[in-house]
């Protein structure tokens, strides 16, 4: 299989490329190396991939359709895993235009790429953020997601709708994966695991929003990658039981599916901090703050559909995953 991965220098992108390469596939990585967070970390991730003879990297922005198509015509991938995006809920309040460019224009570019090259399957990253104002947990894919509470969430819901339109119009198999709070080695510095670990290790205070009572379905990166790779080899298909008189949002008469990818073991953020304290052998200095605009109080995944489709679902215990992240953090930073 020849797989093109957008966002290959990203957290999930690097791990996905490693898994596919280990299984003997060819991978072409694409990334614009944006400076949303430390570019040196992105380059260090790429350094884990570039020695592999079946990996090639191209520095380009997916929102440039001409450059992307030129690469595709030369490389001729079978499947696309689209992980490139402008991420971050709170940052979308500061720089909304970055989200419209990367997540909307960029996604149209990827869809057109897949249409023109007759790609066999597009697997793309959605987010648990799409559940927004929905308070019924655990979140299940058949629930409506019409009330996003951040621009980031709105762009991810838009991606799902855009993908469905191409599945309908061009019979392009598309699968959206709603990731739930992914963490692990090589994780993003703006995410909880990295931020908390760094602050606690340096004796600096951490901010706990909603007074530490936020609940998150922390999902270890290896489990997420397993779901992504499983999906690569199981393209979306039309649902024979789809009822157009009572349509559900996660399946279709077209080759389109959406799945939750979460650990299904949600924990309070203060309990996650305790797991980091255990791994570091050091207590945190905690500052309790109110919930922030755009934040969802609780995320929890119902992964029944994922398990039925692939036969597996994420299950790494939080303390085990945190221990592995902290071990990587210490090695990476030489502490």
Q: Which residues are tagged catalytic?
A: 152
Question: Coil, strand, or helix at residue 96?
Answer: helix
Separation of alpha carbons 231 and 123, rounded Å: 7
Helix (H) or strand (E) holding 127: strand 121-127
* Residue for token pair 């760094």: 198
Close Cβ partners of 238 (under 8 Å, ≥ 6 residues apart): 252, 253, 254, 255
Q: Cite the beta strand spans of 190-297 per DSSP E.
A: 205-209, 215-216, 219-220, 256-261, 267-268, 285-289
Question: How far apart are alpha carbons 11 and 160 in whole angstroms?
Answer: 21
- Nearest Cα to Cα of residue 73 among 6, 14, 28, 106: 28
| Residue 290: DSSP 8-state | P
Task: Yes or no: say if 68 and 113 are a contact pair by the CB < 8 Å rule.
Answer: yes
DSSP 331: H
């Amino acid at each position: 299989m020849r797989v093109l991965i957008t966002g290959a220098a990203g957290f999930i992108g690097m791990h996905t490329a490693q898994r596919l390469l280990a299984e003997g596939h060819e991978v072409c990585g694409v990334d614009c190396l944006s400076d949303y967070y430390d570019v040196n970390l992105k380059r260090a991730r790429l350094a884990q991939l570039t020695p592999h003879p079946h990996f090639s990297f191209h520095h380009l922005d997916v929102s440039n359709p001409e450059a992307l198509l030129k690469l595709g015509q030369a490389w001729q991938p079978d499947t696309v895993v689209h992980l490139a995006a402008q991420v971050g809920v709170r940052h979308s309040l500061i720089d909304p235009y970055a989200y419209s460019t990367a997540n909307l224009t960029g996604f149209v570019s990827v869809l057109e790429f897949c249409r023109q090259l007759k790609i066999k399957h597009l697997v793309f990253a959605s987010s648990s953020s799409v559940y927004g104002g929905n308070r019924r947990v655990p979140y299940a894919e058949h629930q409506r997601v019409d009330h996003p509470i951040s621009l980031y969430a709105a762009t991810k819901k838009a991606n799902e709708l855009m993908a469905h339109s191409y599945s309908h119009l061009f019979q392009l198999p598309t699968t959206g994966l709603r990731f739930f709070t992914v963490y692990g080695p090589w994780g993003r510095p703006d995410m909880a695991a990295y931020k908390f670990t760094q602050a606690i290790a340096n004796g600096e205070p951490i901010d706990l929003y909603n007074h530490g009572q936020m609940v998150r379905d922390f999902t270890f990166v290896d489990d997420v990658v397993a779901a992504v790779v499983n999906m690569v080899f199981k393209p979306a298909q039309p649902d024979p039981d789809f009822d157009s008189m009572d349509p559900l949002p996660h399946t279709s008469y077209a080759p389109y599916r959406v799945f939750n990818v979460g650990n299904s073991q949600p924990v309070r953020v203060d309990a996650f901090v305790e797991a980091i304290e255990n791994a570091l052998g050091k207590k945190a200095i905690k500052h309790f703050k109110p919930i922030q605009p755009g934040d969802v109080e609780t995320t929890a995944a119902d992964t029944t559909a994922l398990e039925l489709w692939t036969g597996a679902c994420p299950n790494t215990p939080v303390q085990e995953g945190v221990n592995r992240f902290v071990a990587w953090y210490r090695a990476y930073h030489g502490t």
